[in-house]
Amino acid sequence: MSSSSDLTNIVALVTGANRGIGFETARELGERGATVVLGARELASGETAAHLLRARGWKAQALRLDVTKPEDHASAYQYLLQQHGRLDILVNNAGILCYDNAVTASPSELRRIFETNFFGVVGLTQALLPLVRKSAAGRIVNLSSILGSLTLHSDPSAPIYTSKVFSYNASKTALNAFTVHLAYELRDTAIKVNSADPGWVKTAMGGAQAPLEVSEGGGTSVRLATLPADGPSGGFMHLERTLPW
């Protein structure tokens, strides 16, 4: 697989794909020929998004998938196994945000954020890994954030130094740890695992003040999802740039 390749025979699952960065990622993969399965918590919203891609002549399917529900992980496995027999690309895009700090954050809110941003990703990835192993060149992309970088959060001169939203940032730091550990465990396979920072994007989560358009938000995910055989694994990247952990 390469960043310029035809993805005609590639099967990709993107979670949280009914809008925003997830939809843009699915759109770009579909445009290049991949069969894209759009995971969404509400099947109706997933179907609407998939219809938009099919209307352009691309191959898109919708799948009801709440990443916090183990039963949805199992049903996603069965769906992909029956429909495609394997999974070439898994983009763990679904995520949620809250604004809190380390002094007042409630344990219940911290758990809620981690359920989607971390535990859901780990559980779904583990459930689907047998299908990714069936791919000739499996790619797993975990949607992280530069706000997960402990190095930058510890540097008073860093541009994100004051961006201390505790639960969200901590969940992305944990997600980065999963990327490093999973890449290590799969080091002797053709599977590549990386964390992607999409940048600050104008989405429902990013807000209208974000500098990047939605059309730019899927760039890093698509690049990591289509890495060539000599591409990196276990990295943390924004486009071509490696970020500090």
Please identify every stretch of the chain with a pLDDT value under 70, giving residue numbers as ranges. 1-4, 200-217
pLDDT tens string 7-29: 999 999 999 999 989 999 999 99
Q: What are phi and psi of 36, to 5 degrees?
A: -110, 125
Cβ neighbors of 32 (< 8 A, separation 6 or more) are: 5, 6, 7, 226
In whole angstroms, give the CA distance from residue 83 to residue 91: 18
Residues annotated as catalytic are 168
Percent of the chain with pLDDT over 90: 87
Hey, what domains does the chain have and what are their CATH numbers?
Answer: 11-242 (3.40.50.720)
Q: How far does CA 199 lie from the centroid of its chain?
A: 13
State the average pLDDT for the chain.
92
The pLDDT score that the predictor gives to residue 2 is: 47
The pLDDT score that the predictor gives to residue 187 is: 98
Cβ neighbors of 177 (< 8 A, separation 6 or more) are: none
Q: Distances in Å between the alpha carbon of 216 and those of 63, 192, 199, 223? A: 25, 23, 9, 12
Three-state secondary structure along the chain?
Answer: CCCCCCCCCCEEEECCCCCHHHHHHHHHHHHCCCEEEEEECCHHHHHHHHHHHHCCCCCEEEEECCCCCHHHHHHHHHHHHHHCCCCCEEEECCCCCCCCCCCCCCHHHHHHHHHHHHHHHHHHHHHHHHHHCCCCCCEEEEECCHHHCHHHHCCCCCCCCCCCCHHHHHHHHHHHHHHHHHHHHCCCCCCEEEEECCCCECCCCCCCCCCECHHHHCHHHHHHHCCCCCCCCCEEEECCEECCC
The pLDDT score that the predictor gives to residue 10 is: 98
Let me know: does 37 contact 14? Beta carbons within 8 Å.
yes
Residue 103 CB neighbours (<10 A): 6
pTM over 0.75: yes
